[in-house]
Amino acid sequence: MDDKDLQNEKAKIVKFVKNYAEKSGYIVNPDPDDFEMIIDGLVANKMKHGRQYCPCRPVMGDEEDRKKICPCYWHKLEIEEDGRCQCQLFFSSGKTDD
C-alpha cells in the first residue's frame, strides 16, 4: 500500500469516526495530536489485521477480537461511567436529557 492509499484509508476512518460520534451524541477527542495518534492506531490495525481494532486493546486472534472493532463493545459504558472511552477517542458531549 502506498502513501496515497494510506491517506485515503485514514480519511475514511476519520469520516467514519466523526459521523459516528455526531450520530451517537458524542464528541471526538478535542486534542488534535491525541486524535491523530488514535486515528493512526486505527489505521495501523486496519492495515495489519484487516479491521479497525481499537488501538488501546490487544488483538489476540480469537472470537473476542470482534468486540474490539471501533467503536468497541465497551465504549458506551465507558463513556457513561468515565466521560470517555478507554482509547480516549470518544467523549461525552456533556449534554443531558433533563
Residue with the three cell numbers 492509499? 5
Q: What is the largest CA-CA distance in the chain?
A: 49
**97 falls within a domain:** no
Q: What is the pTM of this model?
A: 0.90
**Neighbour tally for 57: CB within 10 Å:** 19
**11 falls within a domain:** yes
As a whole number of angstroms, the distance between CA 56 and CA 37 comes to 11
Q: What is the number of structural domains in the chain? A: 1
The whole domain housing 66 covers 3-92
**Which pLDDT tens digit goes with each residue over 30-57?**
999 999 999 999 999 999 999 999 999 9
Report the run of H or E that residue 27 belongs to, with start and end: strand 26-28
> Between these two residues, 31 and 94, which has the higher pLDDT value?
31
Q: Residue 54: which of 30, 33, 78, 31 has the closest Cα?
A: 78
**Which pLDDT tens digit goes with each residue over 1-40?**
688 888 999 999 999 999 999 999 999 999 999 999 999 9
DSSP state at residue 58: -
Phi-psi region of 88 (alpha: psi -120 to 50; beta: other; left: phi over 0): left
Query: In this structure, what CATH number is given to the domain that contains residue 34?
Result: 3.90.460.10
**20 falls within a domain:** yes
